[in-house]
Structure 1
Amino acid sequence: MSQEATGEATYLSEETAALAERHESIRTRHDGEFAAAKALVPELGAHVREGHATVGIWTPGLVEHGVPAEAVELELLTPPADVDPGETEPRAVAFERSVVPTRRAGEVTYAAVEGAVAGTRERLGSLYQLVYDPAEAASDADPAELPGVVGDDGLATLQDPLADSVPFGAFAPAELYDRDRLDDERDDRDYFAALGSDDERVATSEDDGLPRVDPATSMVEIHPGTATERGSLGGLADFVGGIGEKARADEELTAFEETFAGYDAVQLMPVEPLTERSDAAGDWRGLARDGDAATATVARPDKVNWGYDIVVGAFGAPCPSILESGRPDELVDFIAACHTLPDPVKVVFDVALGHADDGGLRILPDRFFHGPGMYGQHLDYLDPMVRAHVLDLQRRKMDWGADGIRVDGAQDFRNYNPETDEMEHDDDFLAEMDAVTQEVAGTEYRPWLIYEDGRPWPRHDWELASTYRTLIEQHPHSFQWSPITFAHNKPAMLTFWASKWWRVREVADMGGNWITGVANHDTVRRGTQVDVPESWEGDPINRYLGDDAPEIIDRAYDNPATNALLHCLLPGVPMDFLNANARGPWGFVRDTDADWNVKVVADEHNLLDWQVREGDYDDDRFFTRLKELGFRTREQLDEFVKALATTVEPTDYDPETMCAMLEPLDPPLDLTPANLDAFADAWMRDVADFANLGHWRDAQDPERTGFARRVREFRQARPWLRESMRLPDAPDDEGPVTADADEATDRFGYRNPANGSVVYYGLRESPDGDERVLFVGNMEGAPTAVTPAALVDADLDPAAFEAALVAPGVETAGDSPAVDEAVEVANGEAVVFVAGE
């Protein structure tokens, strides 16, 4: 196609007719609307063919409102070859404009063209969208009700929900992008070619004739926007690539690099295009058309967001806010960097398709939506075309090369049942998600499947009622987030490990298919929303963890005893959070919402107490926007944001009334709703900058990071630890592994009475009986002395056990702890012994 790509696109009538004929053939061949839709939707979107390109977009609104097919055209805007799609500063760009006819088949609008430029790593390709004139399109319809976004010149535009690249955001024209070229050139093709082989580095299991990627042994969750100084997938790719170079050269890692080392999987927080504020100028604006020329003001989106505020439209494309080059290649580069490490690391995508931000209403057909929900809009999964689109968006995103998929909020996939007058879980659709296969570098495979499902959440008794096993039971190969991983757990609270014992015991009994771990994007955020009292009086904070709130929160989520418990004893797949590993700040950041930004900040009003250390606010690198607004001291900001939190509920979140209530504080900015919103925006961006781990790279303690890495390497060397424990009283009717009395080789318990310290202990035996692992850790409370062998109700040969891992700070009488001698463990300290290595 590149030889004929001139930027002057011409219509190909025969190829377009062939698209329409294929459409009708697919509809005829398949029995049932959904079966036909599943076969049809992969054909839609933009495809680079041999010598030409095709576009197919589902446009039910045009049919519903009687817009004639001949009124709709495909507009292509080809930029100059030297336009930098990574530039975040708005600038005017002149495009070569082509407009070609389309042809409609059913509810789909098709066109085939030659001459369009396909995007590559080196250059921005032709942008495309459908256009029509609402004033002339349908005499019987109200132009204001017709689909599409109407510009200043009166033309309405419709975007492609299946786009592969949206360099200027989901609300701008999509880019014609050559994904086949990227797939052919990726550096990890050998990795995919080895799937299904005997290569131990890419372990898979056979599943219905295809290889299924095996579960990881342990993994780390990463937010691309804060993980590196560059805040991009390109920055992450270079970071991982640098670790690989050191490993191949047998060079020592820095303490910061160690926060990533020792895992065999990484879960990326969502990398989908984000919503945009409806009142903002946008990153694509002012399109002015003049015959075969056009100009527009463009910029790569520079959104600050945790990743979950998606619009579903263009879900298959990478989020341009974390592509410093503006090229989707960065996502593949990161994946390839993980796959080509000496010990390959799997990549798991966090797929949030359970709902759409309200911004999706502006760019998707009305049929996508069922109505408002907790997070924006419920999608209508019962509509066959919507159902097929969502599944194909999943496939397209995963086809960038992911090994696994984490389905965010599976409990949110629901549909209304008029017979019961209730929203009911759509487990059939979740099964359809499980059935989607991937094809990368010529290899078809099934990904490792993970569900987050806390049903009956948000019902008030969800914490007691949820089993976290519903989807594992339906799909035995799948994993779910465990009860100690779910969003609302707060290990910085005193008695957390005592009161959660029943859930932790469930992990031991039946956790072989659970994701475990206390640190993730949600738990750290929830932890910082707790008030920080000034004394022990009525104080639930675990002050044994540290001397101040920042130290407490750091040690709650990066805790040697917790790490050793999860990696060296309990089953499942332990998952940590990179920001927690590095003991860097983290908060709920999203500058994409005009309606709720102020409320989000109010909910985060304790973040200063938890995350801002002594002297941080005075540092010239941090909180620059808030200082420009007049908040020169931390005390000023703290007083204002805490007062702001008290105004939300009594005013029913009315900005005018909130401003009136806050006026007596005499804050440094004029209190108007607009300024309050500007304050929230400054807060979001300053917190995101503050949380960037580039600032904390040199603040790492190598003793701490080295121990955590050794804990993870201990897990990697013993993948059998992933299986559920064989405990004496494991239930006979639950869990993938049970044990008869004579098969109960494992032990797990806590010291009783507690005597001021919650001491967990456990014993594991490998399936072949050749190795035993003994753990003892002070999970919370005062320092205490314990004799490990005396805690475990099992026959032990003390001489056979040696200390394999000793947390920093553990005090012993000799050079190394022994299982039959007393060892002093303070809060968060642990020892792991091994026999039979």
Structure 2
Amino acid sequence: MSSEYDRPELLADATEDLLAWHREVSESHDSDFEAAKELSTRLGAHYVDGRAEVGFWTPELLDAGVDADDVYLEVLTATESVDLADDDQTVEFRRERVPLRRQGEYHWGVYEGLKAGTTDELGSLYQLAYRHEGEWHTVPDPLSYSVPFGVFAPAEFYDMERLDEERDDRWYFEELGTDAEPVSTTEDDGLPRVDPAVSMLEVHPGTATEDGSLAGLARHYEGIGEKQEAGEELTPAERNFVGYDGMQVMPVEPITENPDHHDFWSVVDAGEVDADTGDGETATDAETVAVEVGRPDMINWGYDIVVCGFSAPNPAILETGRPDELVEFIAACHNLPRPIKVVFDIALGHADNGALELLNDYYFTGPGMYGQDLDYQHPTVRAILLEMQRRKMDFGADGIRVDGAQDFTYWDPEKEKNIHDDDYLAEMDAVTQEVGGTEYRPWMIYEDGRPWPREDWELASTYRALIEQHPHSFQWSPITFAHNTPALLTFWASKWWRVFEVADFGGQWLTGVANHDTIRRGTQIDATVEFNQSPVNPYLGDDLPETLDAAYNNAASSMLFHCFMPGVPMDFTHANMRAPWGFVRDTDPEWNVKVVSDESNFIDWQLRPEWFAEDEHFERLKAMGFTDRDDLRTFIRALSAAVEATNYDLETMAAMLSALESPLGDDLTADDLEAFGYAWMRDVADFANLSHYHEMQDDTRTAFDLQVREFRFDRPWLRADLGEDDYFTYRHPSNGTIIYLGVRSSPDGDEELLFAANMEGVPVEVSPEVLAEEIPDLETAGWEPELVAPAAEKIGDGAFEIANAEAVVWSR
């Protein structure tokens, strides 16, 4: 480690070649944006022919008047082996600073002596360092590939070329490069674009397995694949993960941290580095610094990103700290007997406020609904964001779901309003990926509810704006968008107009009622409110947890979207498992208590008394004295009321809640409330881990759910809009039951499907003869039951009584 060769050294000739390339690029483009797009491809740190090629965009240094000779690449290389799975260790690093060269607003350098990270070894860490007015400052690399100690620590120099060359699913991408169907289709420019999935599963990596990691999820699917290959029966819990050929993974980007609780990189002993480099190429003096490091363990549903380090995987879901985990997880999905396409959930529509500490001011236009609004109109910011997307997708994703596409906006001073930046969304659509030697474009999915959040958004949104601009793209449907609540009675009646739109022109929508947002919205309903909302559906369950579970996973809705409706149906693992799910986030030092207060109804909807009584659940809150579920319920409801009454003044809230005689005592402080909020979020995240619920899965239900998904997979033609001869309606007057019914025919005329579902209400009789009274020109002969909800009662040949949330599909 101490050899002369291992010391970082600026390669003058190679660096000059890099600067010459920069000048050539700048001169060859008329547009600043087009020039920035090309320049951004070489920003960050790249392992090229055994050397490190490094670039930073740093306009803030020029604004501050920092001298070009005072800007360095700071390199920290561990002097001993580092166990990245260790939660708490002190590591000695050799720290050196070597010059960077300025070209315009950029700093570049090509170096020998940086250690490239691999599967087994930590590489050299790096960041830009500069001296200004006698003090040293550092700048992180926004385009890094690896941030093992979190994005607020130095990034790691990583060998991404090796990672791509050694991936275990290269065959998959080689096949993608052919014209073989159904893997890909080819566009006019000759590049394949990944086809849509037949059906999708949404997964939160942090709670999907006991390990809460991408490696754990990969092992889970590898185990399932081995069973499938051997013809072994899957467990009821395993069934909930299969029957799909697509998976949307909730964001895997680095997230913000709570400085009060998260400290994964802390320098405890360091001296000054003498940066007088003598010959201007190699730092003549180095030092060792002791750093307390730990494995990041932030809890977050993934959307509180800081943009910086976006290209890297979130280290909180890497048990090894290696970016390899993301590739290995994708390969595990691709190598299943039925490959699963992996869709990345890309949340670049905003940045958490923590990003202010990591990125220069040029990235932002100011505070927004979710933290900070990004400046998509700045040519370099625009180019860098697209490059971040490209690098992340090049881990091997098949598709991209653009979170909150309606939030990509800019202010038009002439019109005095925000304008949707559809040109930027088009640039996202045009990004080319290259994985395993194959260039391709991903399956594009936009979540776009424009004009949300305008007051009339629910009436005004078509959910088709981007499909019309990009005919190959998909959008989240109105039934899938965030605010749907099928646990309430009359949901399927009041939403009929939207359901009918799915049937009429939903072939390029993602459909289904269960996802990370809808279940959380259902959990936030105050079930005690009367007269100003629909009541809770009394037919779904005997209590609120049963009702919520059945609302987001039942035979009628599953069969509606998988067995009859157009588009791509999507389910959510927690709904499939009928397991609790809520808003999990311990990364916000300012709003955490308010976010917890918004979840005040979680206890009613998600927390069964018998589950709370189990020692493994809510250990932190129980340690604080909340050993009784009712006491916890009372306190969190009072907390929610105090937030509203005080406009979220923590000190005043603490004084009010001190009179409550809660387990926290009668002299509460703001710190006590913050500690409660932190414990709540941690406990809810543990409570939502699916490993707790494997043994509770019902064999009949999970087997039928899988049968429903296989029905869809065998009939990919169902994705298309209903044809001229197809028919879909609901029975009206309802007479206490909302019955959806319809008939569809395959394009080749080989099969007809007849569908009837009791979406909500009292039991009713259905049969081809009964349905013929409501479906024009329906011939009743020849129909055979193809799929029947397990609880439906057979009352005759082809006739059934179906209760709430039951359905039947006949075929001929």
> Above 0.5 in TM-score?
yes
Q: How far has the Cα of 1:31 moved from its partner? A: 1.4
Cα deviation code 1:338-367 (max 9, x no counterpart): 111111110000000000000000011110
Q: For residue 58 of structure 2, what is the aligned residue in structure 1?
A: 59
Q: For residue 496 of structure 1, what is the aligned residue in structure 2?
A: 491
Relative distance call for 1:200 and 1:7 in structure 2 (3 A) is same
Matched, 1:790 2:770: yes
Matched, 1:831 2:808: yes
Q: For residue 596 of structure 1, what is the aligned residue in structure 2?
A: 591
Q: How far has the Cα of 1:77 moved from its partner? A: 0.7
Given the two structures, how large is their TM-score scaled by the length of structure 1?
0.93
SS in 2 for 1:270: coil
Matched, 1:698 2:684: no
Structure 2 letter corresponding to 1:813:
I
Matched, 1:523 2:518: yes
Residue pairs, 1:536-555, within 5 angstroms: 540-555=535-550
Q: For 1:253 and 1:710, how far apart are their aligned partners in 2?
A: 13
SS in 2 for 1:332: helix
Relative distance call for 1:808 and 1:590 in structure 2 (3 A) is same
Q: For 1:491 and 1:643, how far apart are their aligned partners in 2?
A: 27
Maintained 8 Å contact 2:182/2:195: no
SS in 2 for 1:277: coil
Which of 528, 533, 542 is residue 528 of structure 2 equivalent to? 533
Q: For 1:559 and 1:630, how far apart are their aligned partners in 2?
A: 37
Q: For residue 155 of structure 2, what is the aligned residue in structure 1?
A: 174
SS in 1 for 2:609: coil
Matched, 1:755 2:735: yes
Q: How far has the Cα of 1:795 moved from its partner? A: 3.9
Q: For residue 114 of structure 2, what is the aligned residue in structure 1?
A: 116
Q: For residue 400 of structure 2, what is the aligned residue in structure 1?
A: 405
SS in 1 for 2:547: helix
Q: For residue 103 of structure 1, what is the aligned residue in structure 2?
A: 101
Which of 219, 227, 250 is residue 269 of structure 1 equivalent to? 250
Matched, 1:765 2:763: no
Cα deviation code 1:25-77 (max 9, x no counterpart): 11111111001001110111100011211110111100111101110111111
Q: For 1:67 and 1:675, how far apart are their aligned partners in 2?
A: 44
Q: For residue 331 of structure 1, what is the aligned residue in structure 2?
A: 326
SS in 2 for 1:552: helix
Which of 680, 685, 693 is residue 682 of structure 2 equivalent to? 685
Q: For 1:547 and 1:217, how far apart are their aligned partners in 2?
A: 34
SS in 2 for 1:95: strand
SS in 1 for 2:176: coil
Q: How far has the Cα of 1:552 moved from its partner? A: 0.3
Gap regions ≥5 residues in structure 2: 272-285
SS in 1 for 2:645: coil
Matched, 1:49 2:28: no
Cα deviation code 1:305-331 (max 9, x no counterpart): 000000000001000000001011111
Q: For residue 396 of structure 1, what is the aligned residue in structure 2?
A: 391
Q: For residue 146 of structure 1, what is the aligned residue in structure 2?
A: none
Q: How far has the Cα of 1:6 moved from its partner? A: 6.4
SS in 1 for 2:133: helix
Maintained 8 Å contact 1:131/1:157: yes
Q: How far has the Cα of 1:797 moved from its partner? A: 4.4
Cα deviation code 1:397-440 (max 9, x no counterpart): 10000000000000000001111111111011111111101000
Equivalenced residues, count: 794
Q: For residue 213 of structure 1, what is the aligned residue in structure 2?
A: 194
SS in 2 for 1:285: strand
Q: For 1:245 and 1:406, how far apart are their aligned partners in 2?
A: 29
Q: How far has the Cα of 1:571 moved from its partner? A: 0.1
Q: For 1:619 and 1:635, how far apart are their aligned partners in 2?
A: 15
Maintained 8 Å contact 1:210/1:445: yes
Which of 713, 732, 735 is residue 710 of structure 2 equivalent to? 713
Structure 1 letter corresponding to 2:791:
G
Relative distance call for 1:221 and 1:326 in structure 2 (3 A) is same
Q: For 1:289 and 1:794, how far apart are their aligned partners in 2?
A: 82
Structure 2 letter corresponding to 1:810:
A
Residue pairs, 1:153-192, within 5 angstroms: 154-192=135-173
Matched, 1:561 2:556: yes
Cα deviation code 1:731-773 (max 9, x no counterpart): xxxxxxxxxxxxx210101112211110101111011111111
Matched, 1:671 2:668: yes
Structure 2 letter corresponding to 1:129:
Q
Maintained 8 Å contact 1:776/1:788: no
Q: For residue 275 of structure 2, what is the aligned residue in structure 1?
A: none
SS in 2 for 1:627: helix
Q: For 1:239 and 1:284, how far apart are their aligned partners in 2?
A: 31
Q: For 1:5 and 1:750, how far apart are their aligned partners in 2?
A: 79
Relative distance call for 1:502 and 1:539 in structure 2 (3 A) is closer
Which of 208, 224, 240 is residue 205 of structure 2 equivalent to? 224
Cα deviation code 1:516-546 (max 9, x no counterpart): 0100000000000001239999861001000
Q: For residue 183 of structure 2, what is the aligned residue in structure 1?
A: 202
Q: How far has the Cα of 1:208 moved from its partner? A: 2.2
Q: For 1:536 and 1:716, how far apart are their aligned partners in 2?
A: 43
Which of 637, 640, 664 is residue 635 of structure 2 equivalent to? 640
Q: How far has the Cα of 1:8 moved from its partner? A: 2.5
Q: How far has the Cα of 1:5 moved from its partner? A: 11
Q: For 2:399 and 2:411, how far apart are their aligned partners in 1?
A: 30
Q: For 2:288 and 2:83, how far apart are their aligned partners in 1?
A: 19
Q: For 2:526 and 2:769, how far apart are their aligned partners in 1?
A: 40
Q: For residue 17 of structure 1, what is the aligned residue in structure 2?
A: 16
SS in 1 for 2:630: helix
Maintained 8 Å contact 1:94/1:294: yes
Q: How far has the Cα of 1:240 moved from its partner? A: 0.8
Which of 397, 400, 409 is residue 414 of structure 1 equivalent to? 409
Q: How far has the Cα of 1:808 moved from its partner? A: 1.2
Deviates more, 1:800-809 or 1:704-713: 800-809
Q: How far has the Cα of 1:250 moved from its partner? A: 0.9
Residue pairs, 1:227-238, within 5 angstroms: 227-238=208-219
Maintained 8 Å contact 1:525/1:586: yes
Maintained 8 Å contact 2:267/2:289: no
SS in 1 for 2:270: strand
Q: How far has the Cα of 1:279 moved from its partner? A: 3.9
Q: For 1:237 and 1:551, how far apart are their aligned partners in 2?
A: 31
Matched, 1:258 2:239: yes
Q: How far has the Cα of 1:292 moved from its partner? A: 2.5
Structure 2 letter corresponding to 1:419:
E
Q: For 1:525 and 1:205, how far apart are their aligned partners in 2?
A: 39
- In percent, how many aligned pairs have the same letter? 59
Maintained 8 Å contact 2:262/2:298: no
Q: For residue 786 of structure 2, what is the aligned residue in structure 1?
A: 804
Q: For residue 581 of structure 2, what is the aligned residue in structure 1?
A: 586
Maintained 8 Å contact 2:248/2:342: yes
Relative distance call for 1:707 and 1:536 in structure 2 (3 A) is farther
SS in 2 for 1:609: helix
Q: For 1:22 and 1:620, how far apart are their aligned partners in 2?
A: 63
Relative distance call for 1:358 and 1:791 in structure 2 (3 A) is same
Q: For residue 72 of structure 1, what is the aligned residue in structure 2?
A: 71
Q: For 1:246 and 1:348, how far apart are their aligned partners in 2?
A: 24
Maintained 8 Å contact 2:262/2:296: no
Q: For 2:795 and 2:47, how far apart are their aligned partners in 1?
A: 70
Relative distance call for 1:565 and 1:745 in structure 2 (3 A) is same
SS in 1 for 2:21: helix
Q: How far has the Cα of 1:834 moved from its partner? A: 1.2
